[in-house]
Amino acid sequence: MTTIAPSDSVPKTNATHIGSALLVNDVGLHARPSVKLTQLAKRFGAHIEFAREMSGPWVDAKSPVKVMRFKAAKGEMLHFRAKGADAAEALAAIVSLVERGFVTEGEESSQPP
């Protein structure tokens, strides 16, 4: 099994980057979108979390199980925060994925079956 790396590449700088994005895809943060989100988050060393309110509770964006437990529906505003060396880059990539409705290159729609 893959282990989720406890952020051992973290933190050169302790600055926390923050961003927000509206869930626009029809099914919300559902099966396939949640896989895409966690796969993208795992590409970065930064510790990445998201929440409904800035006051939390914050959820690990690298855990598909936790992302699914969160049950975010279409139309919800999600706040992201990232901490670590590549936090700025990670945040930009994730916000962009959510805003595109989880459509990745070579796809027309992110609708699951």
Partner 1 sequence: MERRYAGRSAAPGIALGAIFPLTTGTGTRVFSGAAESEAEALRLALNAALTDLKGFIERSTGDAAAILEFQVALLEDEVLAEPAFSAIAAGRAADHAWRQAMQQEIAGYEASDDENFRARAADLHDISERVLAHLTGAAIETTVPPGAIVVALDLAPSRFLAIDWSSGGALALTAGSTTSHVAMLARSRGIPAVVGLGVDLAQLNGQALVDAHRGVLIVNPGPTARAQFERDAKAAAAARSLASAAALEPAVTADGTPIRILLNIADPRELAGLDPAICDGIGLVRTEFLFHDRQGLPDEEQQYSAYRQIAEWARGRPVTIRTLDAGGDKPIPGLTPAGESNPFLGVRGLRLSLAQPDVFRAQLRALARAATHGDVKIMLPMVTHPRELVAARRMLDAEVAALDAAGIPARRASLGIMIEVPAAAIAADQFDADFFSIGSNDLTQYVAAAGRDIGAVADLADPTQPAMLRLLRWVVDAARVQGIEVSLCGDAGGDPRAIPLLLAAGLRSLSMAPALVGGAKLAIAVIELGAKVESKPWPT
Q: Exactly one of 22, 31, 77, 92 binds partner 1 (CB under 8 A); which one?
A: 31
> Whole-angstrom Cα distance, residue 106 to residue 80?
26
Given 17, 30, 47, 79, the catalytic residue: 30
**Interaction between residue 75 and partner 1 (CB under 8 A):** no
Binding site for partner 1 (CB under 8 A): 1-4, 27-28, 30-32, 34-35, 38-39, 60, 63-66, 68-69, 71, 73, 111-113
